[in-house]
């Protein structure tokens, strides 16, 4: 996809929209003092449990370039990466883990969604972060607990991204550009318009870096369109398209030298049609989607198939996902609220292992389908003395075309008397084997297992959580929760051959306590603190015992903002068991970041801000993977203009 060629007409459209709408845009007042935090807001709800909400300003303040960078300050979330820009594959080189989930099997049990639609590379059943540009996101909803009813399969934890759209209140055109160390640069542009009849928004972005180490370069590019037309006062039709193209190199552990530079290339096209009935007693959303993607993993294969020597190996993947989601919900204020619907998803694709001097392995397309009706009810009752009892629960039935049917369930009970609320939640969630088990089962001997891969069962987790919230005001909030997840039937690689294959032999328990505090010390000073303690009865990768966060955002003047953020992650076991590797330990680390944003006079633009970010201010040495040191002190600076 020639995204750079498409960027030129997009910028032309932005100019046209700017000229057409210049007279109608009102003068923007000075930057008002409002709540600002580096850490996301924590929320508790009957249908979703405890979750974190990020607005776009949250990740712009810390200079995040991708989804992993945007989520690194969320309590209970751990990330991994190799490079400054670009995610190398969907595991060690670029991934997100939530409370120990996301690395327990080949693939992932963390669901990444765009407007509720799962985004995965269908063959390997895990997300690729470079196919989802954060420049196109308006906000993110990070679910810490399993979500079997509303989000379905693969949601032991989840990140639901709400796409950007043009509204009449937003400025219509804009550009944001930055440059930093190691020739790291980024540019994004947008153009849009909105009226009572509909709205349209175009966005384009590119990020690139030479990398902080040899062979650590990366590039990501994206195009985005979100357009809607109000067919009827109560009926809206929307079309969304997201195109991406990326590459990331593997610099290899320090001291390792290979004849080639291992590289991961991806391209992806996601399209969604959404029809919504709005402003009625019942809200209805019908979504139909299709996603086509390519991933080319260029690697050095050792040990190779006998009797061949070590050689280059390309794993080429073609993904094809499609489906429809129908969601219905009550939209009026009544004591009993309900959500219901049915989701159909077909996930899969084809893959080829292309050896340089050995026979290729071709795995023809396999697509697996689930049909899942669901319903959730919530009810509240006022008690004497001003307190309220809330209760809720739901079921989702999974009908799978290959594996056994399952039923997911959620149950919640809460007591609320302002400013205090207490909630208990239970969920039973399932995660089906993906198309990858068919690929593994059809590999050459001794890996070939015939059709016995069809006997595998869905992974299961029983999750319990007790939360306490004290909310003295909208600007002062304290939340603490205790959680326990009991997983069974977890898929594991049994190795070495001839036993090597994926089996339901894993079980583990994770538990922990998470606490967060947000407060406005003064009108111009906002602080946030969080601490997460987690442990497991087995060596679960990417589960640090302690994760600490602290931040302060100070606005000494209505045009100036200064922020500082601190993060500590204790030592943890890492390395994904998809390769049969034994987890090893990496040291804990402390990171200090700082940023500054200055509002410019309106002679530059209706909204003009210059900014500078410094990551790892103390030049600390740390790594997410053994032998993969992360960047030392990194800086960037840039400008954002909107009209």
What would the pLDDT profile of 539-557 be if each residue is shown by its tens digit? 888 899 999 999 999 999 9
**Averaged pLDDT, 77-85:** 93
pLDDT at residue 35, rounded to an integer:
56
Spatial distance between the Cα atoms of 240 and 292, rounded to a whole number of angstroms: 14
Contact 241, 287 (CB under 8 A): no
- What three-state secondary structure class fits 436? helix
pLDDT per residue over 439-451, tens digit each?
Answer: 877 877 666 777 8
From the CB of residue 383, how many other CB atoms can be counted at a distance below 10 Å?
11
Q: Given a cut of 70, is residue 576 above it in pLDDT?
A: no
Q: What is the pLDDT of residue 106?
A: 59
For residue 389, the SS3 value is strand
Buried-exposed string 168-190: b where 16+ CB fall within 10 A, e elsewhere: eebbbbbbbebebbbebbbbbbb
Q: Could you report the per-residue pLDDT of 486-533, keeping only the tens digit for each? A: 999 988 777 655 556 778 877 899 999 999 999 988 889 999 999 999
DSSP string, 82-99: SSSS--BTTTTBEEEEET
pLDDT at 612 over 70: yes
> Model confidence over 207-227: pLDDT tens digits?
999 999 999 999 999 999 999
> How far is CA 49 from each of CA 74, 148, 407, rounded to the nearest angstrom?
16, 12, 19
Residue 342's pLDDT is 98
Instruction: State the chain's mean pLDDT as an integer.
Output: 88
Instruction: Quote the CA–CA distance of 293 and 268 in Å, as a whole number.
Output: 4
Structural contact between residues 520 and 470, judged by C-beta atoms closer than 8 angstroms: no
Residues recorded for the chain: 643
Structure confidence at residue 569 (pLDDT): 96
Closest C-alpha to 286, from 346, 336, 235, 320: 235
Check residue 107 and give its pLDDT.
Answer: 60
Percent of the chain with pLDDT over 90: 67
Distance CA 56, CA 392 (A): 31
- Name residue 473's beta-bridge partners: 476
pLDDT tens for residues 366-414? 999 999 999 999 999 999 888 999 999 999 999 999 999 999 999 999 9
- Can you tell me whether residue 345 is helix, strand or coil? strand
Query: Tokens 């610099």 identify what position?
Result: 251
DSSP helix/strand/coil, 432: coil
For residue 637, CA distances in Å to 17, 186, 634 come to 28, 10, 11
Residue 335: in which H helix or E strand, if any?
Answer: none
Structure confidence at residue 498 (pLDDT): 52
Three-state SS for 625? strand
Distance CA(641)–CA(600), nearest Å, equals: 10
pLDDT given for residue 579 in this prediction = 55
Examine the pLDDT at 105 and tell me if it is beyond 70. Answer: no
The answer to whether the beta carbons of residues 106 and 170 sit under 8 Å apart is no
What's the pLDDT score for residue 581? Answer: 63
Give the pLDDT mean for 117-121: 94
Other residues' Cβ atoms within 10 Å of the Cβ of residue 382: 10
Give 268-313 pLDDT, tens digit per residue. Answer: 999 999 999 988 999 999 999 999 999 999 999 877 777 778 889 9
Check pLDDT > 90 for residue 201: yes
Question: Which residues share a beta bridge with 394?
Answer: 376, 410
Rg (Cα) of the chain, in Å, rounded? 24
Cα dihedral sign for 496, 502, 503, 506?
positive
Confidence band, pLDDT 50/70/90 cuts, at residue 424: very high
**pLDDT attached to residue 7:** 37
Nearest-angstrom CA–CA distance, 263 and 452: 33
List, in sequence order, every residue forming a beta bridge with 95; answer none if it has no partner: 80
CA of 309: how far to CAs of 144, 152, 355, 599, in Å?
A: 45, 44, 11, 60
Residue 570 DSSP code: -
pLDDT tens-digit map of 221-261: 999 999 999 999 999 999 999 999 999 999 999 998 888 99
Q: Average pLDDT of 99-121?
A: 86
Token pair for residue 605? 């633009």
Look at residues 280, 271, 269, 289 and name the one whose alpha carbon lies nearest to residue 236. Answer: 280
Report pLDDT for 12.
Answer: 39
């Amino acid at each position: 996809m020639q995204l750079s060629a498409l960027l030129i007409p997009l910028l032309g459209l932005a100019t046209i929209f700017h000229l057409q709408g210049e007279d109608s845009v009102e003068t923007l007042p000075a930057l008002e003092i409002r709540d600002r935090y580096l850490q996301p807001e924590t929320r508790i709800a009957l249908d979703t449990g405890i979750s974190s909400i990020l607005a776009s300003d949250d990740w712009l303040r810390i200079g995040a370039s991708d989804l992993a960078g945007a989520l690194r300050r969320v309590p209970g979330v751990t990330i991994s990466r190799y490079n400054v820009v670009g995610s190398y594959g969907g595991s060690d080189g670029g991934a997100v883990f939530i409370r120990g989930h996301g690395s327990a099997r080949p693939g992932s049990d963390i669901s990444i969604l765009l407007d509720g639609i799962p985004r995965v590379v269908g063959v390997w059943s895990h997300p690729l972060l470079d196919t989802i540009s954060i420049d196109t996101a308006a906000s993110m909803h990070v679910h810490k607990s399993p979500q079997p009813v509303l989000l379905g399969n693969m949601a032991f934890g989840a990140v639901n991204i709400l796409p950007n759209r043009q509204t009449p209140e937003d400025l219509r055109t804009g550009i944001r550009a930055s440059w930093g160390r190691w020739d790291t640069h980024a540019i994004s542009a947008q153009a849009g318009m909105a009226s009572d009849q509909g709205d349209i928004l175009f966005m384009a972005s590119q990020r690139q870096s030479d990398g902080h180490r040899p062979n650590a370069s990366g590039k990501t590019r994206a195009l985005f369109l979100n357009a809607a037309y109000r067919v009827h006062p109560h009926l809206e039709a929307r079309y969304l398209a997201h195109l991406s193209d990326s590459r990331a190199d593997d610099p290899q552990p320090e001291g390792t030298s290979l004849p080639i530079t291992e590289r991961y290339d991806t391209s992806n096209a996601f399209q969604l049609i959404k029809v919504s009935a709005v402003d009625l007693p019942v809200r209805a959303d019908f979504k139909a989607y299709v996603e086509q993607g390519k991933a080319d993993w260029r690697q050095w294969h050792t040990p190779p198939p006998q009797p061949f020597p070590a050689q280059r190996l390309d794993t080429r993947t073609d993904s094809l996902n499609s489906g429809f989601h129908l969601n219905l919900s009550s939209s009026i204020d009544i004591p009993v609220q309900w959500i219901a619907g049915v989701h159909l998803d077909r996930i899969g694709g084809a893959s080829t292992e292309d050896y340089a001097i050995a026979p290729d392995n071709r795995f023809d397309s396999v697509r697996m389908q689930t049909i899942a009706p669901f319903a959730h009810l919530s009810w509240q009752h006022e008690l004497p003395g001003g307190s309220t009892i809330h209760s809720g629960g739901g079921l989702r039935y999974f009908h799978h075309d290959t594996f056994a049917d399952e039923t997911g369930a959620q149950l919640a009970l809460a007591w609320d008397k302002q400013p205090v609320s207490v909630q208990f939640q239970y969920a039973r969630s399932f995660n089906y084997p993906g198309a990858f088990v068919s690929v593994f089962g059809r590999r050459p001997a001794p890996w070939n297992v015939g059709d016995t891969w069809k006997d595998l069962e869905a992974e299961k987790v029983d999750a319990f959580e007790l939360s306490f919230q004290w909310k003295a005001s909208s600007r002062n909030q304290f939340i603490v929760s205790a959680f326990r997840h009991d997983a069974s039937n977890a898929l594991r690689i049994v190795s070495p051959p001839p036993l090597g294959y994926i089996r339901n032999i894993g079980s583990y328990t994770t538990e922990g306590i998470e606490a967060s505090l947000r407060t406005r010390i003064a009108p111009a000073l906002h602080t946030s603190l969080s601490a997460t303690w987690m442990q497991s009865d087995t060596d679960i990768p990417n589960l640090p015992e302690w994760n600490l966060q602290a931040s302060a955002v100070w606005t000494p003047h209505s045009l100036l903002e200064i922020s500082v953020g601190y993060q500590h992650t204790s030592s943890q076991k890492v390395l994904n068991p998809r390769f049969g590797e034994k987890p090893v330990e990496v040291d804990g680390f402390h990171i200090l970041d700082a940023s500054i944003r200055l509002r410019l006079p309106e002679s530059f633009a209706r909204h003009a801000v210059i900014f500078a970010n410094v990551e790892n201010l103390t030049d600390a040495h740390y790594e997410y993977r053994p032998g993969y040191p992360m960047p030392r002190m990194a800086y960037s600076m840039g400008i954002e203009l909107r009209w």
